[in-house]
């Protein structure tokens, strides 16, 4: 897919952050948009930012953890636009907790959104993408889908799962010569609201972290603007890349993990302690 003009793109998590910037940049390149998010007000704000572009836009309040709702959204998108070329499974949440301190309810909550939401979005839209003759699935994993982090076992598990799911999917699509491709996206620290909206368990005190201050600490490493992340993602789609890393932090930690796969955790532990040390 060398350009997005007159293509139809569906985006989850479009009410803010990377999802919003994807919508803006796709509209600038002539793509029609089906946008969804749990945050209705955020969707309306995104819609208002798109009003000057000559493209068709729909917005839908959507819980990606609800399989029936995702399938219904995919069907309504096809009925409204007549085709779908791209699905950006971008919606996600975060949880900071030790393994011991994490409840099963919390684990199910994050998996339902971060992993199952991606699975539902992929499977619901895939038949329409194949029908278009030129389709692409873009699934947001994370730097934490490449390297493990203390306090992030659940988030790591969901993002490692998204990466494996997407890479296997891409292989299948290539073997089928399906006219559809897939890209796994691995952002590092992107300047979005995910840290502020993350669930923080009191159990992370055992790791020397303060739940009340943790989001503020992690915000310090969110350096890459979401508009930069969106541009990198869209360029990767045009180049049909299997995997895209966003931000120097993602590239550096990925390199460390590749060079010393059995020892990179020591580097991560050092950086975590430096980031969360008490002032």
- Interior/surface letters 215-229, b for 16+ CB within 10 angstroms, e for the rest: beebeeebebebbbb
pTM, rounded to two decimals: 0.90
pLDDT in tens, 170-186: 999 999 999 999 999 99
Q: Which residues pair with 182 in a beta bridge?
A: 137
Percent of the chain with pLDDT over 90: 73
Tokens of 67: 């399989």
Here the tokens at position 139 are: 């699934």
pLDDT-based confidence at residue 209 (cuts at 50, 70, 90): confident
DSSP conformational letter for 152: B
Q: Is the pLDDT of residue 278 over 60?
A: no
Q: Where are the beta strands (DSSP E) in the chain?
A: 8-11, 32-37, 57-61, 86-89, 95-96, 135-140, 180-187, 199-200, 243-246
Quote the pLDDT of residue 191: 63
- Contact predicate 30/5, CB 8 Å: yes
Predicted confidence at residue 274, as pLDDT, reads 57
Q: pLDDT-based confidence at 279, cuts 50/70/90?
A: very low
Q: What is the DSSP code (8-state) at residue 163? A: H
Mean pLDDT of all residues in 52-80: 98
pLDDT score recorded for residue 273:
62
Average pLDDT over residues 136-154: 94
Q: Which pLDDT value is given to residue 271?
A: 63
Of the chain, the percentage scoring pLDDT greater than 70 comes to 88
Task: Report how far residue 77's alpha carbon sits from residue 83's, in angstroms, rounded to the nearest whole number.
Answer: 8
In this prediction, residues 110-135 reach a mean pLDDT of 98
Max CA pair span of the chain = 57
217, pLDDT greater than 80: no
Rounded to 5 degrees, what angle do the CA atoms 45, 47, 53 make?
A: 130
Evaluate if residue 276 carries a pLDDT over 80.
no
* CA pair distance 71, 104, nearest whole angstrom: 26
Local confidence band at 259 (pLDDT 50, 70, 90 cut-offs)? confident
> Residue 208: what are its φ and ψ, rounded to 5°?
85, 15
Q: How far apart are CA 167 and CA 182, in angstroms?
A: 8
Tokens 């909550």 locate to 109
Q: How confident is the model at residue 245 (pLDDT cuts 50, 70, 90)?
A: very high
Give the integer Cα–Cα distance in Å for 115 and 259: 28
* Residues belonging to the active site: 155
């Amino acid at each position: 897919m060398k350009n997005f003009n007159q293509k139809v793109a569906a985006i989850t998590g479009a009410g803010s952050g990377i999802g919003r910037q994807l919508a803006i940049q796709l509209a600038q390149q002539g793509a029609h948009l089906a946008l969804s998010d749990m945050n209705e007000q955020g969707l309306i704000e995104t819609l208002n930012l798109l009003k000057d572009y000559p493209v068709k836009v729909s917005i839908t309040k959507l819980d990606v953890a609800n399989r029936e709702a995702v399938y219904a959204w995919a069907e309504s998108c096809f009925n409204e636009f007549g085709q779908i070329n791209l699905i950006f499974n971008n919606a996600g949440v975060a949880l900071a907790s030790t393994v011991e301190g994490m409840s099963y309810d919390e684990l199910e909550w994050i998996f339902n959104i971060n992993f199952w939401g991606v699975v539902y979005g992929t499977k619901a839209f895939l038949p329409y993408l194949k029908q278009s003759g030129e389709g692409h699935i873009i699934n947001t994993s994370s730097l934490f889908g490449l390297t493990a982090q203390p306090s992030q076992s659940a988030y790591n598990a969901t993002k490692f799962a998204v990466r494996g799911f997407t890479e296997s999917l891409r292989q299948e699509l290539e073997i089928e010569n399906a006219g559809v491709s897939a890209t796994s996206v691995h952002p590092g620290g992107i300047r979005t609201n995910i840290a502020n909206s993350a669930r923080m368990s009191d159990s992370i005190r055992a790791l020397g972290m303060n739940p009340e201050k943790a989001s503020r600490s992690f915000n310090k490493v969110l350096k890459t603007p979401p508009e930069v992340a969106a541009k990198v993602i869209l360029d990767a789609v045009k180049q049909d890349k299997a995997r895209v890393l966003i931000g120097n932090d993602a590239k550096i930690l990925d390199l460390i993990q590749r060079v010393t796969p059995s020892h990179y955790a020591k580097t991560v532990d050092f950086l975590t302690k430096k980031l969360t040390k008490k002032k």
